[in-house]
A and B are shown apart, each in its own frame.
Chain A
Amino acid sequence: SYVLTQPPSVSVAPGQTARITCGGNNIGSKSVHWYQQKPGQAPVLVVYDDSDRPSGIPERFSGSNSGNTATLTISRVEAGDEADYYCQVWDSSSDHPDVVFGGGTKLTVL
């Protein structure tokens, strides 16, 4: 089955740029989606189709996807961005299609 690998944690100072990676075999050929989850809350979509933003999501959130790595970039990080972030793809490459989530990355704002 397809595996998505995320770093367990990323730390960044306020005002700096956070980059959260999501690794997978030839992930650049898939559409990657990103979710933000704050403690005790349901996940919220922040980026879909690699780099599109839902309405209401700040422009500070952006995404890219190429080769074996997709990246969620959060510019001018704020304290309110502290959360867990998950990447997700639809893997239709095998005879058993599957929705796959990465293990999640905890973003800490120092």
Chain B
Amino acid sequence: QVQLVESGGGLVKPGGSLRLSCAASGFTFSDYYMSWIRQAPGKGLEWVSYISSSGSTIYYADSVKGRFTISRDNAKNSLYLQMNSLRAEDTAVYYCARAFVEMATRGPGWFDPWGQGTLVTVSS
């Protein structure tokens, strides 16, 4: 079955870096767009970044632009999120999700499925 498993979360000091990974299985990874979405403790969902199947199209939320970098390795069926200059407000559970493209806009549509998430805590 389709499965996404995140790893790489943990405790990091403000200004530090962390690299998240997402291992995909059960589907042809190279055919799908992928995304990272986060959820701060007790808060709602916030989209972080999105990458096309080939990696040629990438979008970021304003809150992470210039600090986070999304990438993928289709040969390894893996998605990554390099997070630099981390701030306390980046503390959240980070989910990777498979993304479907909207026919009308060719932009990211819905996300299905989602991984179980990995917790990133930014604190001194």
Interface on A for B, CB 8 Å cutoff? 31, 33, 35, 37, 42-45, 48-49, 54, 86, 88, 90, 92, 96-104
Per-residue contact bits, chain B 83-124, to A (CB 8 Å; 1 contact, 0 not): 000000000000100001010110111111111110000000
Which 7 residue pairs spanning A and B have beta carbons closest together? A99-B47, A33-B110, A45-B112, A48-B110, A42-B114, A90-B107, A101-B45
Interface of B is mostly: strand
Kindly state whether residue B11 has any CB partner on chain A within 8 Å.
Answer: no
Interface string of B36-71 (1 = CB under 8 A from A): 000000001111001000000001011000000000
Most buried by B among A37, A99, A100, A103: A99
Q: Given the complex of chains A and B, what is the CA–CA distance between A86 and B46 in angstroms?
A: 11
Count class of interface residues, chain B: 20 to 34
The answer to whether B109 touches A33, judged by C-beta atoms less than 8 angstroms apart, is yes
Selected contact of A101 from candidates B47, B112, B115, CB within 8 Å: B47
**Residue B21 CB within 8 A of the other chain:** no
Contact assessment for B108 and A42 in the assembled complex, using a CB-CB cutoff below 8 Å: no
Is A99's CB under 8 angstroms from B108's CB?
Answer: yes
B35 contacts A by Cβ under 8 Å: yes
B105 and A48 contacting across the interface, CB-CB below 8 Å: no
